[in-house]
Chain A
């Protein structure tokens, strides 16, 4: 099954923004981006054991003159909170694309608390939050978030809603 066009547009937006490293904890909603990153000889794709590793990876990339992006699910946002002191305190850019769970048609109640808290905890930690809930706005939101992050040296999260990516379906 080919991915929906907006996912290819998002990868193109990351390329246009000059992203050279992508750290990720896998998520079905990011499957196309992860596959594209691994297939791209000009991209370093780094699989992480936990999401905060990606915050530190992005900081190191910036120190070395490259731009990185971090892909994760909303459940991983909670793992990142203390590590977000790194880009905030060091006035470094951070671009993270977050696939949401627990907010639109969620089947699994265990996903709901972190999904509900995600925008608030990111904001409280000093991260700018840009939601994207419709296919037509996904790539332009990523492009705007990248510009804000790298031109103004701030952390920015794009939240891909379940309305956009499709709520996970469990077959009983």
Chain B
């Protein structure tokens, strides 16, 4: 068993998304979306409320389409595990403007906090490295999170952030997918008039 992380997820995401500028953010379903909404809902956040396992690949399609913008995927360990093959796909595709941060609490938080694989020995940063990601990191402290922030906004980095399994109050972002997609495209200036 891996020891649970200690970091407060809201403090982590608030630090990562502080003054996001023109950063494009994709969140995996569940708590990472609530964390991003709590840090400040904005049109250039695209929240998945389902499609489990798809967050990283949405990030890749977006990063390839917008090579001059930074894309950050914020997701959980369970969501990343379901899309684990996409770590190989993204490493091979090679999008220099895409980074992934996994908020790893070792739990399936939405379904009763059952232990995920990362609580039982699976190391997603090692998986990413073995898939061909050249740059991976694991953060255990807020000082390490602060140091990761600059790298997540400048490198094709895969980062695991070991957060506490404690639940935070719900902060629900909009959940109408058509609305979220349309406002994102309008804010990016790619929607037809």
Contact = CB atoms under 8 A, between A and B. Distances in A.
Interface of A: 20-21, 44, 46-50, 52-66, 68, 82-83, 85-86, 89-92
Chain A CB within 10 Å, residue with most, of B53, B180, B181: B181
Contacts, number: 122
B85 interface: yes
B121 interface: no
B88 A83 contact: no
Q: 6 closest Cβ contacts across the A-B interface?
A: A60-B61, A64-B65, A65-B190, A49-B85, A56-B54, A56-B57
Interface centre among B60, B61, B89, B178 (most CB of A within 10 A): B61
Interface string B46-79: 1010111111111111111110000000000000
A153 to B, nearest CB: 9
Given A61-B64, A65-B185, A46 B190 contact: no
Contact of A53 (B86, B182, B185, B190): B86
B4 interface: no
B26 A60 contact: yes
Contacts of A62: 61, 181, 185
Contacts of B62: 60-61, 63-64
Nearest to B88: A49
Interface of B: 24, 26, 46, 48, 50-66, 83, 85-86, 88-89, 92-93, 177-178, 180-182, 184-185, 188-190
8 contacts: A53-B54, A59-B51, A62-B61, A62-B181, A63-B185, A64-B190, A66-B65, A86-B51
A52 B53 contact: yes
Which of A21, A60, A86, A90 neighbours the largest number of chain B CB atoms within 10 Å of its CB? A60
Contacts of A50: 85
Contact of B52 (A21, A54, A82): A82
Contact of A59 (B54, B178, B188, B189): B54
